[in-house]
Amino acid sequence: MRVKAVISYDGAAFYGFQAQSTTPKTVSGALTRAAEKLGIDSAIVGSGRTDRAVHATGQVIHFDLPSHWQNSLEKLKTVYNRLLSPHIQIKTITPVRDTFHARFDAKRRIYRYVFKSTPPTPFENLYACHLHHSDPEKLKEALKLFEGTHDFCYFHKKGSDPGSTVRTIFRTDVKNFRRYIMLYIEANGFLRSQVRMIVAACMNYMHNNITLQQIDEQLAGKTMHTTHLAPPQGLYLARVIY
Residue 4, beta-bridge partner list? 62, 94
Tell me: is residue 111 an annotated ligand-binding position: yes
Give dist(CA 74, CA 87) in Å, integer: 20
**Chain region(s) in the chain for CATH 3.30.70.660:** 108-241
- Dihedral sign computed on CA atoms, order 19, 23, 27, 33: positive
Residue 161 has what pLDDT? 63
Q: What is the pLDDT of residues 124-158, one digit of tens each?
A: 999 999 988 889 999 999 999 999 999 999 999 88
Q: What is the pLDDT of residues 33-62, one digit of tens each?
A: 999 999 999 999 999 999 999 999 999 999
Residue 163 has what pLDDT? 84
State the pTM of this model. Answer: 0.95
- The active-site residue out of 10, 51, 64, 216 is 51
Question: CATH for 2-95?
Answer: 3.30.70.580
**Chain region(s) in the chain for CATH 3.30.70.580:** 2-95
Topology of domain 108-241 in CATH is: Alpha-Beta Plaits (3.30.70)
51 included as an active-site residue: yes
